Structure 1
């Protein structure tokens, strides 16, 4: 989907702990420049007959490892589900007004939870990445507030229900969604939604997204490997299983021989 206008440089200053130019390149490649990726993987080095893949694979691996370190693996993270020691972490950067994010939430994510979160393979970590104005900002803060009462994921389902975004995300609507999600203290929910802590939490998530070069939603990292858009289920299952297999190989390689 078309990328919305980005905020001013002050609003999107990347974190000092990231390398936005290099990481942004990887995300852009994942967003659709598959022809370039194929070319780079097979084109000869101008100075030799060695395929470029032989000289770039190591650099790419370093970037993927750095991106993988963005996983928080925090047991107290209210906007995450799955074991903190799961071998695979999927980080999703999304906006509640994004139609493709809703499609992923309704059609793909429940199956990933059923297949991989339930058996301990996958952990899903949500990052609020509001791009479409104040309504997106308000919904992001409200989702965080619902999380303070352990109702983020029910709120997430309610906000991404079919045709939910057409009803808007005004104060009354957000309160109704919270009630639908089972938030018990609605007055606290309203205070938390409007709090400085909610604003800061959303800012940190968005800063992380811009820091890795993400410009549209949904954007994903699967053990550091970027994946853009609401791709078919098979794309996610393949990526998750490949990441799990890679982690298993690394673990086995590190175990002493008997």
Structure 2
């Protein structure tokens, strides 16, 4: 049966959209992947993964380094327990991180609380967490534990406990995860243990991990702020500038749409 003009048009539009997203991912791979390669390449003698405090910082210009097609990676699911902030916030920061990463912990303790107070609480920013375990099985267990805590509405409390000073040095074995769950106020620890070892937990972590690798993000933490890639635990002002530029741009688009 011949394809009609409308169907051809829809297929063409879909193809164009896929090409655009692919181009954006390729750009992000350059910005995140190449900038972070030296942070994560195996040590010649030990085969271990290295960390780095900061990778690629974005330009301070409002539109420089922004790839609108990458904004589509924001899920904006109001029921997502691994997110905080309004689902319709003008700015979404997607965070790819590992609970074994020391610089992720530094960001979580020193920078993120300020961003929450300054931008999440006033409705400007939404933070969407993506589990990106890159430091082996301990990282994988922690990621699944975080997801399981989220199933009982305690992800961010688990996040805080797991990133507390000295926490990662204790490891993330099964007993340690149960301790963290209790510290986070998870009510049903038995359910938590089952959820953390479930196929659903593994699938959720794998989905986030593959999304990050698809962007070329080979180190943690890595971020997208309304389509602007940021690599590494940058100074507070870098995030402030990126969020404020994204909010200004979103406001401009909203005004243009209303005309």
Q: Out of 29, 32, 37, which is 1:27 matched to?
A: 32
Verify the 8 A CA contact 1:27 1:226 in the aligned structure 2: yes
Q: Does the residue aligned with 2:247 lie in a helix, a strand or coil?
A: helix
- Which residue is 1:191 aligned to? 194
Q: Tell me, which stretches of 5 or more residues in structure 1 are unaligned?
A: 1-15, 38-56
Q: What is the RMSD computed on CA atoms of the aligned residues?
A: 2.1
Q: Out of 158, 162, 175, which is 1:159 matched to?
A: 162
Which whole-Å deviations, capped at 9, do the CAs of 1:75-121 have from their partners, x for residues lacking one?
Answer: 11110000000000000000000000000000000000000000000
Describe the shift of the 1:108–1:33 C-alpha distance in structure 2 as closer, same or farther (beyond 3 A): closer
Verify the 8 A CA contact 1:30 1:227 in the aligned structure 2: no
Structure 1 runs of 4+ aligned residues shifted over 2 Å read: 16-23, 26-34
Q: Tell me, which stretches of 5 or more residues in structure 2 are unaligned?
A: 1-17, 37-54
Q: Does the residue aligned with 1:66 lie in a helix, a strand or coil?
A: helix
Q: Out of 195, 216, 219, which is 1:216 matched to?
A: 219
Verify the 8 A CA contact 1:82 1:117 in the aligned structure 2: yes
Which whole-Å deviations, capped at 9, do the CAs of 1:148-199 have from their partners, x for residues lacking one?
Answer: 0000000000000001001110000000000000000000000000000000
2:141 is equivalent to residue 130 of structure 1? no
**TM value normalised by structure 2:** 0.79
2:236 is equivalent to residue 229 of structure 1? no
**TM value normalised by structure 1:** 0.80
* Separation in 2, partners of 1:66, 1:203: 22
Q: 1:28, CA displacement in angstroms?
A: 4.2
Which whole-Å deviations, capped at 9, do the CAs of 1:172-230 have from their partners, x for residues lacking one?
Answer: 00000000000000000000000000000000000000111100000000001000111
